[in-house]
Amino acid sequence: MALTDTALKALKPKAASYIVSDDRGLYAEVLPTGSIVWRYRYRLSGRREKLTLGKYPALTLRHARLKRDEAAQAVALGQSPAQKKQLAKVAGPENATVAQFSERFFRDIQERDRKDNTMTRRYLDKDIVPHIGTKEVRQLTAEDIRSVVWRKKDQGFDAAAGQIRGLLKRMLDYAVTCGLLAHNPVTALPMRHVYRAAARDRALTPEEIQLFLRSAQASNIRRQFKIALHLILMTLVRKSELLLAQWKDVHLDEAEWHIPQENSKTGKPHIVYLSKQGVLLFKELRILAGNSAWVLPGRGTLAKPFASNAINGALKVALQDQEIPAFTIHDLRRTASTLLHEKGWASDVVEKALNHTIGGVRGIYNRAEYAEQRKEMLQFWADFIDRLVPAENLVVMRA
């Protein structure tokens, strides 16, 4: 029997929820709190589903029936109104723009999956949103994606174009998951047509190390960067691990720098055993950092570290007009690994110092930390570098 407004007004709460039916799947559920909620139940592909329409009396009987009829039309077309409503909660409105959806993606997916999002944020703010940010996600085409990616390629930044293509691919995969897109338009632009990374095998010779460090020290880049470049080579750490380092994790009395798992590429905490030269350089950075919690606070604020691309730019400036083949900051780790292996240090000790995960069966059974061997090796390596270019060159003498 169909409900009436009089019958609805007469409904009273009970100790447990109960329902009163209207017609064609519409019913009112009376909660113990006294609230009355409209719901619609239906079958789709043999499966029972339920859709919450709203609360009475804000949603009147007449309007509840209208919403029931709209949902019933979707079911007749093979669509699930309950699933559509759930996806709307995740993805936002169906007419969400790229700018709006990118913030949702960044918060829900990117920050959850990636530790360092400095460049991701930059690509969104500088390369994606200014060009297609006002366009609705549902209206994106392969040509829109191509225009953004090829704009970066035309500027001569092929690797960055590849990064932007990868970011758009992940973001629009999420849009497909949320029901905003039927397919991802980025797939029309294969990565191999945008950028193909070449395998790197660049390792500096001792003579190149000497030229590089002397050039960096004589350049006009910030002193923090001069010290940072020296430390990355000396400690074998990743650039991001040093940029994200905080003083609470640096224990100079014990000559140890603890990299927490959230800053470690392996997802596990790692200890860097500091040589005498490493302690000296960290002490200098401590003075330069002032009251900041960060080892390398940014130029504009003490509350954040330097951006990843800042030290890349510093390296480029330091090597200007120098007769040395190009290399990246990451190549400094390969340099250390290559020369230490050549000097006869055991591979497992070198790999552990690099904070690499040892693969295969050997990695499963070998849980050794090689602490003493790493201390000895890192001091040997610091002494080797010191004979080329002394770390003391970077210290300003103070009374």
pLDDT of 227-263, one tens digit each? Answer: 999 999 999 999 999 999 999 999 999 999 999 988 8
**8 Å CB contact between 275 and 390:** no
Q: Is 379 left (phi over 0), alpha (psi -120 to 50) or beta?
A: alpha
Neighbouring-strand partners of residue 284:
none
Q: Indicate the Cα dihedral angle 359, 362, 368, 374, nearest 10°.
A: -60
DSSP class of 106: I
Instruction: Look at the chain and report how many structural domains it folds into.
Output: 3
**8 Å CB contact between 187 and 181:** no
Q: Report yes or no on 85 lying in a domain.
A: no
Q: Report yes or no on 52 lying in a domain.
A: yes
Pairing of strands 36-44, 26-30: antiparallel
**Mean pLDDT along residues 342-352:** 93
Same domain, 174 and 305: no
pLDDT over threshold 60, residue 87: yes
Same domain, 312 and 390: yes
Same domain, 154 and 293: no
pLDDT over threshold 60, residue 341: yes
CA triple 368-377-207, angle to 5 deg? 140
Same domain, 213 and 301: yes
Domain finish residue from 31, 52, 80? 80
pLDDT confidence band for 112 (50 / 70 / 90): confident
DSSP class of 156: T
Domain finish residue from 54, 80, 106? 80
Same domain, 253 and 295: yes
Q: Please state which of the ranges 51-55, 74-78, 182-186, 301-305 shows the lowest mean pLDDT.
A: 301-305
pLDDT value at position 365? Answer: 46
pLDDT over threshold 80, residue 11: yes
pLDDT value at position 397? Answer: 54
pLDDT of 169-211, one tens digit each? Answer: 999 999 998 888 989 999 999 988 888 766 568 899 999 999 9
For 133, the domain range is 98-194
**CA distances to 7, 180, 224, 277, 324 from 231, in Å:** 78, 47, 10, 9, 20
Same domain, 131 and 243: no
Same domain, 236 and 379: yes
The residue type found at 19 is: I
Residues 6+ apart with CB under 8 A from 368: 348, 352
pLDDT top residue among 296 and 108: 296
Query: Rounded to an integer, what distance in angstroms lies between the CA atom of residue 325 and that of residue 224?
Result: 24
Q: Report yes or no on 261 lying in a domain.
A: yes
Q: Report yes or no on 91 lying in a domain.
A: no
CATH code: domain of residue 347: 1.10.443.10
Q: Which two tokens stand for residue 284?
A: 């200098």
pLDDT over threshold 80, residue 387: yes
Query: Rounded to an integer, what distance in angstroms lies between the CA atom of residue 203 and that of residue 339?
Result: 9
3-state SS, one letter per residue, for 278-329: HHHHHHHHHHHHCCCCECCECCCCCCCECCHHHHHHHHHHHCCCCCCCCCCC
pLDDT top residue among 359 and 205: 205
pLDDT value at position 213? Answer: 95
**8 Å CB contact between 189 and 221:** no
pLDDT value at position 302? Answer: 85
pLDDT over threshold 50, residue 364: no
Residues, the chain, total? 399
**Mean pLDDT along residues 330-339:** 94
pLDDT confidence band for 361 (50 / 70 / 90): very low
Tokens 């949103």: give the residue: 129
Same domain, 327 and 377: yes
Instruction: Tell how far CA 195 is from the center of its chain.
Output: 21
pLDDT top residue among 168 and 95: 168
